[in-house]
Amino acid sequence: MNMNVKLTGITEQIIQGAIKSGIAKTKTDAIVIGLLELENRYRLLEKMEDKEDSRDAKRILREIKEGKQKVYTKEEFEKRTGAKL
């Protein structure tokens, strides 16, 4: 994804500081590092995955109730698949 970003004031100073201190080589690198740090601090992707998992679980439960999916006991599963749990 390409994007143009105009940074002024303190955000521009932070970018320049990251470059001058050697943390980042370019403005783009500094922005990428900042975004990765946001992920590291707030676990944004993990929260998105949790929401997706929750939606999937609700969908599966609904489909089980509607008879679109079947739940097997351990014994039924092993018999049907030949796998041992």
pLDDT of 75 higher than 90 = yes
Please report which confidence band the pLDDT of residue 16 belongs to, taking 50, 70 and 90 as the band edges. very high
The pTM of this model reads: 0.59
Q: State the chain's mean pLDDT as an integer.
A: 93
Which pLDDT score is estimated for 56? 92
Q: State mean pLDDT over 8-19.
A: 97
**pLDDT tens digits, 37-73:** 999 999 899 988 888 998 998 999 999 999 999 999 9
Q: At what angle do helices 44-65 and 27-42 cross, to 10 degrees?
A: 50
| Per-domain residue ranges of the chain | 9-42, 45-81
